[in-house]
Amino acid sequence: MLRSVLPFVRKYVAVLSRGSISQEDALQEILLTIHRALHTYLYPNPVLPWLKAIARNKIIDLFRSSARDKVFDSDQKLDESQSLLFSMNQVLPEDLADLKRIWATLSAKEQELLQLVKIEGFSFSQLAEHYKEEEGALKVRVHRIIKKLRERALKELKSGSFTMFL
């Protein structure tokens, strides 16, 4: 049975894969899946739509797995160049001025809380003990402060006075 469908499946893979995935690997995967799913074929029905569905779904799976591999590769490249791209030395003075201006719009207590959590890395449980507040309340406050900063940055970006990221 598999030998009889091999020419059709080979052509179908060549058309759908368009060189993005290994055609031989795809062909093997599809033939294995057809073999495993043979019990699902209902005899009086045409075999061609059943074969096309299996081949199409397997090719989609292979595209997804190859896309994930590419994402992992780009993550590794990002990790390798992270020290170069994201170091503080790469921040331009005008960008730093924009950030300082938006940071200054926060109250002293908001600045302190954000600095302790996001910059110095204190846990919410440590801060809850220090401020004698509930951990959940501190999480909500930090979230609201970050949201406020984001809204102000977007507002300034739309007005044209914020030059960072342009």
81-113 residue pLDDT tens:
444 334 444 455 566 777 788 888 899 999 999
Instruction: Check residue 93 and give its pLDDT.
Output: 58
CA dist list (Å): 163 to 105, 124, 158: 17, 33, 10
pLDDT band at 33 (very low <50, low <70, confident <90, very high): very high
CATH topology of domain 91-159: Arc Repressor Mutant, subunit A (1.10.10)
* Calpha distance 6→13 (Å, rounded): 10
- Largest Cα span, the chain: 77
pLDDT digits (tens, 9 = 90+) for 144-159: 999 998 888 788 777 7
- pTM attached to this predicted model: 0.44
Domain boundaries, the chain: 2-85, 91-159
Classify residue 47 by burial, with Cβ atoms within 10 Å: 0-12, 13-18, 19+: middle
Output the CA angle 101-103-109, nearest 5 degrees: 140
